[in-house]
Structure 1
């Protein structure tokens, strides 16, 4: 996904979204644990996300998304799911490898390529994962 957010920023947003289940606040300790990094590193990254208007955090409080942050996190998540689905269903890549590759590709893939993957999946006779609504995913990515 070509945009102004760095891959690291996108990874943090994705982890926060995963830990928050979309709407709960998250502790920096949990973010650090999930990424297997020091709490100080996570704190520094969260400060950057705050500066970019993607998350909010009170001193000693939990991290929550801004509207912009949640929207960007959902884009990363949906992009990842589409790439993973495409790799598994079309290219027959095993799930673990497809997931790893999707993590790398989600940061650089263009919206046009994602749209092409969605169109290919829709036209084909592929059994799409229940948690991936292609039409809804495309709307989020726009």
Structure 2
């Protein structure tokens, strides 16, 4: 999402966008690089790998879904955003697909 906004992204951009410390982002970047989800070029710009992009898109889809459902249920938007962030990372892809299909049938 941030990469779509800014084009080229560095760790400091991520830290600023998420309002977290740069050391926290550096730790996360190291973990994502080790997992094959992210690469960094010689100018410290971050790039998602194909696998990283796929996981990011799935996570963002979950986030949007949970935010929409929470707001529709009467949760204020700020709380919905915060809680959707937690939910998007804990639910399995399979459970998410089943829930989404039950709530938003095609």
| TM-score bracket, shorter-length normalisation | 0.7 to 0.9
Distance in structure 2 (CA, Å) of the matches to 1:22 and 1:32: 15
Q: Which residue of 1 aligns with 2:85?
A: 103
SS in 2 for 1:92: coil
TM-score, length-scaled by structure 1: 0.63
Is residue 37 of structure 2 the alignment partner of residue 86 of structure 1? no
Runs (4+) off by over 6 Å:
none
More strand by share: 2
User: Over aligned residue pairs, what C-alpha RMSD do you find?
Assistant: 2.3
Gaps of 5+ in 1: 1-17, 124-134, 136-142
What's the counterpart of residue 29 of structure 2? 46
**For the structure 1 residues 39 and 60, does the alpha-carbon distance in structure 2 shift closer, same or farther, using more than 3 Å as the test?**
farther
Number of equivalent positions = 106
Separation in structure 2 between the aligned mates of residue 78 and residue 23 of structure 1, nearest angstrom: 20
